[in-house]
Structure 1
Amino acid sequence: MTATEPSHLILGATMPNGTTADVLIQGEVIAAVGTDAADRADEATVRIEAAGRVLLPGLVDLHTHLREPGKEDAETVETGTRAAAMGGFTSVHAMANSTPVADTAGVVEQVWQLGQEAGWCDVHPVGAVTVGLAGEQLAELGAMAQSRAQVRMFSDDGMCVQDPVLMRRALEYVKAFDGFIAQHAQEPKLTAGAQMNEGELSSMLGLAGWPAVAEEAIIARDVLLAQHVGSRLHVCHVSTAGSVEIIRWAKERGIEVTAEATPHHLLLTEELVRTYNPVFKVNPPLRRESDVMALREGLADGTIDTIGTDHAPHTAETKECEWTVAAMGMTGLETALPVVQHALVDTGLMDWAGVARVMSVNPARIARLETQGQMDPDGGLAAGAPAHLALYDPNITRTVDPETHTTKSRNSPYRGMELPGQITDVFYGGHPVVRDRALSAPRQHR
């Protein structure tokens, strides 16, 4: 941002804890909250009438696929972070399954630099656990941690670290710099050729099944490994009721495990596969209604810590084809908060303080992001904190049209669905990257 940029005064916004307050943004920080915010504003201050809108700490996503380098036909750091800004995110973690794989300091620094140049939100590269995601040899974990990208999160997402000895070594290694391993929990021998959730419906449709135990077995093994070595484990995209129970069991015993659920696993079920529309093909697959309810309850009671979008853009050529050869994955950055409102807030399972907890505070804490996801002990926003903020209108309903989305890809599973809410304004380090429901201008990093 520039020195001449005006301050911003947000008037009458609803804080996460339900109170109403004015918020003054000056420079890169929240200068004042409450009665003195308006008094400290000058004539040049831009005023935003925010009555009825919720002001959240900027959202933090631990699970984003930006595809660059190598798959720029599906997404780039520029287009993906534009979509993130439109979804209210001020920080995203870019998964390692690019081409080349982000398994060296050079690749993660390239992704980090692209994020800095784009200027729409912070981009934190996720380093691969193993070379080439092949599960045979540890990648340059220490070099990536010491690079300019300062990687702390490592994952072979899309591929499970199947070898228990290799997983143990990775968990031990990252302790040296307070890193953590984010596991894609999928036993490959139980899911060979899998196309959807295993059950009665998969048999009826003639599609190879992906059994719940393939996820649950890896999670059970890994929480015990994490306990054994005293390291941090994060479970990506939890999708089954059994997985929630295992994570709950582990937390009760003090094991350092955290977990995420995706928006699509909080709303969509395997019944959609009856259409054979590949937009609903995802890994892990859409599960049963009982699994959806268990995930919602797990988020509400704190068993599941975060919501990660698993934003996975694909080209039309790889997605709009017959089911068995279609790529797995869905876009999700721009619809995440509306889905969360629909599935958790509007159902009474979670208030806006809870949303801030699972979409801002907890992911920032897990990733050790000191400038993101900050709230005061009462669930409000505190003066002096970095001005990473998202203003959200929960009182409108929109029909999802992927053709209007900012992401480069169109594989949204919510096409034609009515969802509540819309991000109206986003401040990234005090700079408005979204204003009046549209992209404004990127932040210029000094």
Structure 2
Amino acid sequence: MRDSVSPRRVVITGVGLISPLGNQVEAVWEALRDRKSGVDLLQALPSDAMSISCGAEARDFTGSISEFGPLDKQLQRAIKKGLKLMCREIEMGVAAAQLALHDSGLSSDVRDPDRTGVLYGSDYIMTLPEEFAAGIRKCQDAEGRFQFERWSELGLPEVNPLWLLKYLPNMPASHIAIYNDLRGANNSLTLREASPGAAIGEAVSTISRGIVDAMVVGATGTRINPFRTLHVVMQEVLAGGSENPAGLSRPFDKDRTGSVLGEGAGAFILEELEFAKARGAEILGEVIGFGSGTAGSTAGPQFIQTAMANALRGAMRNSDTSVGHVNAHGIGTPDGDIQEAAAIVEVLGPDTPPVVAAKSNFGNLGAGGGMVEAIASIKALSEGSLWPTLNYETPDADCPINVVSSNDVPAGDNFVSLNVSPQGQATAFRIAKFAG
């Protein structure tokens, strides 16, 4: 993102992720290339109580300290002690950040803690029912009916006084900063699926203005949580059936029926170019554009298209190079995919670049999705070719975009990533191979 006011360039020097396809970049990349799905029958929820029974769980992530990457003993002890104050979403977010820090080599002996910050995105994080179970039982009468007037005296004392700290959406950034002594700019954003792009855009702006030299930037989310899943089932269009879980998520395919639940987290280490070069960091890519847009339902029935087109235009601003590929939101709903395809055509023209949609492999990870998807595209830039969009079998005339369905499509030297929330908050960011 270069202009006459702020010439500082921002590069990516490390990545980390937690996903339904594994917790290592290579494992996720191989799964995408091999058309493997992370969608299966749910194990973490009583699916017989819901109208859906399948989702993409990050089963390789158990919250064990060994899954947070190589840590010195002091840091390992600190994080392990702090796990009791983290819900699963926060655990995944902290783990992805620690993996990214290790990947980047941005260790405590090469970074200035006062000029290293954290910026994290998330969904609004929902508590687990068991946090209140003991208190509710204390407030039941002989017939099992809840008596609210008993709550303050009998119920509330049964709730862990530190309960709220486990679910605050600012806690991923707080934990990461405290554990790693990162004293620079610190912020938290809760824009649901649009959170990753917003976090990247804000972090790039913070670095380019000279406020910090480096930032840990990430996002974490889950749709697999009793209350969260209930909200989704009631409010969104989901793919149903359990006979073939791997075939449920079908972005842009004519026979798509809805989105699929997922969970995960991803993180980047962003650094100012000269700072990264001075310490000899390996540069994985450069952020060259960012845009955001919002358009609620009052903007008309095509408000998702409007928001995504505006975000995409912002990411393309001040650039005269063509897009190598588009990493689409690809939510898999009948109307959502039509509006996204229309936005891509509106901004990039009818002969669109290749389009991939990793949600076909692991569903909607909520706020974490855009980060994990972007890490896959960064890997594609280095490998030279893209992965196929799983379950894309029957093209839809209402989605006239160039959806990738094989392993031999070139990735190009840059990509743009798109994400949008159901409420019409959209973000797009553009990443290129580092050209020196």
TM-score scaled by length of structure 2: 0.29
The structure whose residues are more often helix, as a share, is: 2
TM-score scaled by length of structure 1: 0.29
Q: Which has the higher contact order (CA 8 A, sep 6+)?
A: 2
